Amino acid sequence: MSDRVIRPRRTVIGAALGLAVLAALACAERGEQSGGVGVPQRSEIDPPARPGAFAVRLAAGADEILATWWEPLDAEVDEAGHRLLFARYTDAWSEPSVVVEGDDLFANWADFPAVVREPSGDLLVTWLAKTGEETYAYSIYLGRSHDDGATWRNLGKLNDDVTDTEHGFVSLVPEGDAVRAFWLDGRRMVAGGPMTVRTAVVGASVGPSELLDERVCECCPTDAVTTTEGALVAYRDRSDEEVREISAVGRVGDGWSEPERLTFDRWNIPGCPVNGPALDHRDGRTALAWYTGAEGAAHVGMRFLEGTPAEREPVVVDGERPLGRVGVVLDRNGDAVVSWLALVGKQAELRLRRVGTDGSLGAAVPIARTSASRSSGMPQLVRRGERFYLGWVEVPLEAPSRVRVSSIAPELVPAIGD
């Protein structure tokens, strides 16, 4: 692929289609159902989180949605600490359970816990806890549940060093009879070195970590999937010249590939934009979504990683006023559906948009409004069966934040020409 900035491809957003989409959303918000089949195109299934909750994380299984989120121990006292909550959705949410709580937890809007169903049937969750007096001195801790999240046991640290540096932005995927973890690891920063990407297997115990990339962006989230070749992790890389592109490392036999650059935006930025990539894999096809602010022209991009050169060509999903914080899922027909936040006045709008296998774009669908500040966090997009599940943090002007989740039928996100 040539080294260039991506440009928009085919787009169809007719006025009549936009009105139809907005009308469908209004019906969904009122609980109305789609034409004759008795299944809502959109259902609000907010988890049992208290006011003030934030940083929701979703993971999907064949018949469940797993969710974690933070809640303050005392909404009036910042130093009181936080608790990490877990709940599981099948036809309804389970009673939330406390994974861990305390005043030494590193709870924030961008780097938040990950959760996965292990091949054994147990649940595995991560969180961050302070290890020193410095602001960015914390490690990654693991918890396991043998009873679907009713109770949790602390397994200790994931990272196998003792430096009082940053460790976080964890992604988890099943691997064999265990779980593969990826994270940003700051152990080299104690001597003035860069942030790195490391990985380890979590089974009955935590295996030794492996270095995958020795210089990466310090605080952009990672994402990982299991492909037909094995685990694949995507992250924001960082060159010596401060060009920050999206790269990936994948499983090759018993080892790992060299970091491969997946975007060619030439975004030169001296600090971390806190805007990582999103991946999804289905039926031999992998989709990547990302945000860039290259050349002063912010946009959300998306590309497929397999197929012909034309099918792998990147497209611009939103080139107007996006904030990024992207998600992506693959539909049953191979289309990708991208989520992101876009600026609308002084607020942010959470949107979905379909990208066809030929790079065509459907209409952008507005889902919700929230704050444009960091308090709105990182929206979550996952797929359970053929429905999409979108999680976000609603930040009202004069009320505590609120964790929201919507269940969305694929038909609500139109294809080009619909």
Provide the percentage of residues in the chain whose pLDDT is more than 70: 90
Amino acid letter, 361:
L
* DSSP class of 55: E
Provide the percentage of residues in the chain whose pLDDT is more than 90: 85
Of the candidates 12, 15, 16, 21, which has an alpha carbon nearest to the alpha carbon of residue 417?
12
Tokens 């929701």 -> residue = 56
- What's the rounded mean pLDDT across residues 186-213? 97
Residue 19 has pLDDT above 70, yes or no: no
Confidence of residue 368 (pLDDT cuts 50, 70, 90): very high
Q: Which pLDDT does position 23 carry in this prediction?
A: 45
Q: Which pLDDT does position 79 carry in this prediction?
A: 78
- What's the rounded mean pLDDT across residues 104-117? 97
* DSSP class of 31: T
Average pLDDT score, the chain: 91
Q: Which pLDDT does position 24 carry in this prediction?
A: 43
Residue 266 has pLDDT above 70, yes or no: yes
Contact criterion met (CB below 8 Å) for 339 and 352: yes
Q: How far is CA 296 from the centre of its chain?
A: 24
Residue 7 has pLDDT above 60, yes or no: no
Confidence of residue 39 (pLDDT cuts 50, 70, 90): low
Q: Determine the Cα–Cα distance for residues 195 and 185; give it in Å rounded to an integer.
A: 6
- Encode pLDDT of 311-348 as tens digits: 899 999 999 999 999 999 999 999 999 999 999 999 99
Residue 354 has pLDDT above 70, yes or no: yes
- What's the rounded mean pLDDT across residues 299-303? 98
Residue 379 has pLDDT above 70, yes or no: yes
Q: How many CA atoms lie within 13 A of 348 on its CB side?
A: 24
Confidence of residue 11 (pLDDT cuts 50, 70, 90): very low
Q: What is the CA radius of gyration of the chain?
A: 20
Confidence of residue 42 (pLDDT cuts 50, 70, 90): very high
Residue 33 has pLDDT above 90, yes or no: no
415 or 338: which leads in pLDDT:
338
Across-strand partners of 328? 338
Amino acid letter, 44:
E
Q: Which pLDDT does position 113 carry in this prediction?
A: 98
Residue 183 belongs to what H/E stretch?
strand 178-185
- What's the rounded mean pLDDT across residues 57-70? 96
Q: Which pLDDT does position 274 carry in this prediction?
A: 97
Q: Which pLDDT does position 365 carry in this prediction?
A: 97
Residue 4 has pLDDT above 60, yes or no: no
Distances from the Cα of 288 to the Cαs of 108, 222, 334, in angstroms?
25, 12, 13
Residue 78 has pLDDT above 80, yes or no: no
- Encode pLDDT of 88-99 as tens digits: 999 999 999 999
Q: Which pLDDT does position 200 carry in this prediction?
A: 98
Of the candidates 382, 391, 392, 400, which has an alpha carbon nearest to the alpha carbon of residue 61?
382
Q: Which pLDDT does position 173 carry in this prediction?
A: 98
Give the range among 37-41, 306-310, 314-318, 342-346 with minimum mean pLDDT. 37-41
Q: Determine the Cα–Cα distance for residues 147 and 149; give it in Å rounded to an integer.
A: 6
Contact criterion met (CB below 8 Å) for 52 and 46: no
Residue 6 has pLDDT above 70, yes or no: no
- What's the rounded mean pLDDT across residues 170-186? 98
Residue 31 has pLDDT above 70, yes or no: no
pTM (2 d.p.): 0.91
Contact criterion met (CB below 8 Å) for 57 and 396: no
